[in-house]
Structure 1
């Protein structure tokens, strides 16, 4: 028997969690960093229900399946970016509805963080539309203060500010930054079709600087850029080879924006989104998989299937940079109906509790 919103769902999920906690240490395979592209492609191409069943089992071995982290993303500096990312309305190269603005003052950002915390978000993310921080000493100092203040609220803090030097990463770490987002976006092969102003290796260098500073890495991709299945597999393969898998892997579905080169792209198929989430969960078992941009286009049942397949974080709130976002009340209602609960700030995964190096 399965009734949406009924006690049956919650009881079933908690029973599955208990069984997983009791047996995971002796039944799961070690996290791998030597996946081949062929192996990942075979997983991606497997029958969809079999794929979701397998990914759900992996998810329950490494995570509490009843927990979803609520994250809120705020644009603290909009537009005027010199990069040519073909999906982004914040590029100064395109004529879009997004207008450039200065870096926000500290207090409005802190007010937004307090509101997010009151509504159940446990990670507050701040994004600035910059290529890098060169020549932005005063702005960077202001951001460091934002990081300190938000961390003082007891929240996890994430920023996405473009490319970072080793020294800038260290300063963010000292200020209390929890995680840094720097997406690879797609495979190495398809990347030049999307962006020409920053190389793939430059992105990897920033990720290395962040990790070397002791900050968690948040790095994923965007589906619907015109890429192939091989490119989606290539993205997962790229992060799987890292010495330490990203702490979180955002899976974004392109939201086409008028004025960008990709404004006429067709929406990514739901099957593709689900396959990417499930494959990522199997290959990156300890990583938090973030259901990110484009989620508002999914109905509740489709989102629940993504959670079943291994997604365990969402962005929620008033907006997500320049694209729509599901609101807190809507998300809390959905989670209640499906027997899900919010993940607390700085919560540990099962692997971390056991002291297993991912």
Structure 2
């Protein structure tokens, strides 16, 4: 199927794609994927929690919220040398993108932000794509991150606008979109996706993809996360998301935003190699890997580097180098 990158999607069109018989949907998504990406390449990413726990937000899924009693204890901002050591080890293990996350509601113009800017400069100097997820930020702060060399900023929508207030009450959907818009005033790329398994409906999932798919340009990076239930949070008893629903979302995202990287992110640890292979076939071209078996905190498991290398070798896939993903300039041409 030949496609054109478009920003005028209707929710009914996305729902029709989502509801396509599964094997046909995977075939269509795989075809689109091959038009825009090298299907033999997977980008391996590493998430470093540079400031863990103590977040004032009430995100119902999050182990790092100060409002819930979880295993996560609040910690201070990591030292730059520690971050650099982790990043260097990750690079040696095949990682080409490092995401630095801080459990903040928003970025503040203080000494900690200065330290983060310094980390961005030095990790970028290692030859890695650097992504940050620090909460809400202003246009001026986004500009400073750009000047430090930041490649991407992550700010997930999580779910649909209608369902959002069921999951989070300490900020609005508009706040999320405003931060994305502030990043768009710079040359920093946007990373924004959602989480499956929050109790949302299929309509909510389609609505979230509609919001992302009508942003102009699309986010260069679209993470599809699967809820990792954390004891002590309001969503600790949510049922697991069936793999077929995960594959449908990846395939639909691939067709709606064909040039974007679709990242199989949190929750991957519970998927078998066969299930992950289906996700790659449906258009996922990025994973998060780890050296310690955890993605972000002790409550979010993540496959290790060795296991992931074995899986990629088995599937005949190669790791992708840094800075070879989608250009920051959106592609407008018809492909096919």
Which one of 189, 196, 205 corresponds to residue 232 of structure 1? 205
2:308 paired residue number:
331
1:348, CA displacement in angstroms? Answer: 3.8
Tell me, what secondary structure is at the counterpart of 1:189? helix
Give the corresponding residue for 2:258.
285
The answer to whether the Cα contact below 8 Å between 2:4 and 2:332 also exists between their aligned partners in 1 is no
Q: Distance in 2 between matches of 1:278 and 1:30?
A: 16
Residues 149 and 279 (structure 1), Cα distance of their counterparts in 2 relative to 1, 3 Å cut: same
> Is 2:220–2:328's contact at 8 Å kept on the other side of the alignment?
no
| Structure 2 residue 169 is matched with structure 1 residue 169 | no
Residue 21 of structure 1 is matched in structure 2 by none
Check if 1:65 corresponds to 2:39.
yes
Q: Distance in 1 between matches of 2:331 and 2:54?
A: 43
Which residue of the partner structure matches residue 296 of structure 2? 321
Classify 1:129/1:338 alpha carbon distance in 2 versus 1 (closer, same or farther; 3 Å): same
Structure-2 separation of matches of 1:355 and 1:197? 33
State the Cα deviation string for residues 105-161 of structure 1 (Å, max 9, x = none).
110000000000000000011000000123x51000000000000000010000000
Give secondary structure in 2 for the equivalent of 1:72: strand
**1:29, distance to aligned residue in structure 2 (A):** 2.3
Q: CA deviation at 1:28?
A: 2.6
Normalising by structure 2, we get a TM-score of 0.96
Deviations 1:276-310 (A, max 9, x none): 00000000000000000110101001101100000
Change (3 A) 1:278 1:208: same
Unaligned runs of 5+ residues in structure 1 are: 1-26
Number of the residue aligned with 1:220: 193
Equivalent position to 1:312, from 277, 281, 285: 285
Q: Quote how far apart the aligned CAs of 1:356 are.
A: 3.1
1:356 to 328, 331, 335: 331
Match of 2:26 in 1: 52
Residue of structure 2 in register with 1:24 after alignment: none
> What is the SS of the residue equivalent to 2:285?
strand
- Aligned with 1:197 (options 170, 178, 184): 170
Matched residues in 2 for 1:290 and 1:55: separation?
14
- Aligned mates of 1:307, 1:184 — CA distance in 2: 23
Spell out structure 1 runs of 4+ moving beyond 2 A. Answer: 352-358
Distance in 2 separating the partners of 1:286 and 1:28: 13
SS of equivalent residue, structure 1 residue 51: helix
Unmatched runs of 5 consecutive residues or more in structure 2:
none
Over 3 Å counting, the alpha-carbon distance change for 1:197 and 1:354 in structure 2 is closer
Measure the CA separation in 2 of the matches of 1:355 and 1:181.
18
One of 184, 192, 211 as aligned partner of 2:184: 211
- d(CA) in 2 for partners of 1:197, 1:112: 32
Change over 3 Å in CA distance of 1:353–1:192 after alignment to 2: closer
For 1:270 and 1:335, how far apart are their aligned partners in 2? 19
Post-superposition shift, 1:357? 3.7
Q: Where in structure 2 are the equivalents of 1:1-358 lying within 5 Å?
A: 28-134=2-108, 137-317=110-290, 318=292, 319-322=294-297, 323-349=300-326, 352=327, 356-357=331-332
- 1:339 Cα offset (Å): 0.6
Q: TM-score, normalised by structure 1?
A: 0.90
Query: How far apart, in 2, do the equivalents of 1:320 and 1:353 lie?
Result: 27
The 3-state SS of whatever aligns with 2:228 is coil
Shift of residue 354, structure 1, vs aligned partner: 11
Structure 1 CA distance, aligned partners of 2:169 and 2:151? 30
Cα distance in structure 1, aligned partners of 2:328 and 2:317: 21
Which has the larger Rg?
1
Distance in 2, matches of 1:243 and 1:293, equals 26
Distance 2:332 2:12 in 1: 25
